[in-house]
Amino acid sequence: MTKLVVICGATATGKSGLALALARRLGTVILSADSRQVYRDFNIGTAKTTVAEQKLVPHYLIDIYAPTNTMTVADYQEQAQAYCASVSDSPLLLVGGTGLYIRSIVQGMKIPRVAPQLELRSQLAEIDQNQLYAMLQQVDPTAAQKIHPHDSVRTLRALEVYYVTGIPISAQQGENPPDYPILQIGLDCDPQRLRLRIHQRTKQMIADGLVTEVDELCQKYGADLPLLNTLGYQEIKQYLSGKISLDAAQELIVLHTRQFAKRQRTWFRAYPQIEWFDADDPDLFAQVLQRIKEFIDK
């Protein structure tokens, strides 16, 4: 039977490095749970594992979509579940910080398979959020109770699903947890240490060529590509357009990454199934490896 080990936590807590070391010791592979690493060409800014690292341990669910396409959570879940079902002789490592991706696997979320409807979204986006929420209350009061009145993203999605399928999104959701054992391990550290980690990683990304990467992506796909408006890319794009200095861009990346990490920590802390380890503990590898061996041997 498949046994799944999840390595999760906020950005810059060292998930990828730990997972690489664990996978080499356990003789297994890594499934990525990162919503941006699924896209080709977005490498440095997403902290994607290098080609050399991927030669050491097979990595799956990265570089599988063109940046001009959109990978939905349902798409991700389908591919991840298929891979988990195909392996039974070794524990799999599911590694990343995209909480919704991880939740889709460990809790077996039922996700409506409705692709983004750009024309419908553009029409709905012209309507005031208060009115959109009132529309949602009419067609799907159950979903409306779970969505904050100011949450425009989830409101739009719920309306989109309803108008495409004719069925409320609340009636299409639910959970179907997998029948294989799952161990969830979370990495965390003192907020001050995390700030330092984020600062150091951002500095290293720039040293590794983030500016060149963003410049080449803008030329290849156009500066309006939605992915180029995400963390790390939008700030460098501002620098390349002459709006801010490189130092200012770096400071903004650090600030926005800290804000993002705070949201991630809040998300993951809401799940009591996660067993937490100190990312700065010098014995981290040994502690996590021992816990995984206990899990495997059950």
What is the domain-level CATH number for residue 158? 1.10.20.140
Each residue's pLDDT, cut to its tens digit, for the chain (298 residues) gives 789 999 999 999 999 999 999 999 999 999 999 999 999 999 999 999 999 999 999 999 999 999 999 898 889 999 999 999 888 777 899 999 999 999 999 999 888 777 778 889 889 989 999 999 999 999 999 999 999 999 988 899 899 999 999 989 988 878 888 989 999 999 999 999 999 999 999 999 999 999 999 999 999 999 999 999 999 999 999 999 999 999 999 999 999 999 999 999 999 999 999 999 999 999 999 999 999 999 999 8
User: In sequence order, what are the beta bridge partners of 93?
Assistant: 5, 30
- In a shared domain, residues 131 and 263: no
Q: For the domain that residue 191 is a member of, what is the CATH number? A: 3.40.50.300
Name every residue whose Cβ is closer than 8 Å to that of residue 164 and which is 6 or more positions away in sequence: 114, 117, 120
Tell me which amino acid residue 203 is: K
Based on the fold, state whether residues 68 and 23 are members of the same structural domain: yes
Domain coverage including residue 247: 4-110+176-297
Contacts of 227 (CB under 8 A, 6+ apart): 36, 39, 42, 67, 233
CA nearest to 164, candidates 124, 104, 110: 124
The pLDDT, as a whole number, for residue 92 is 94
Residues 127 and 271 in one domain: no
pLDDT at position 175, please?
83
Same domain? 77 vs 208: yes
DSSP code of residue 50: P
Helix (H, G, I), strand (E, B) or coil at 30: strand
Q: Indicate whether 161 and 88 sit together in one domain.
A: no
Res 139: pLDDT: 94
Same-domain status, 153 and 217:
no
Catalogue the E-assigned strands of the chain: 4-9, 30-32, 59-60, 92-95, 109-110, 174-175, 182-188, 275-278
Token output for 266: 């809040």
Q: Are residues 207 and 137 in the same domain?
A: no
Please answer whether residues 16 and 95 qualify as being in contact, where contact means their C-beta atoms are separated by less than 8 angstroms.
yes
- Are 51 and 130 in a shared domain? no
Quote the pTM value.
0.86
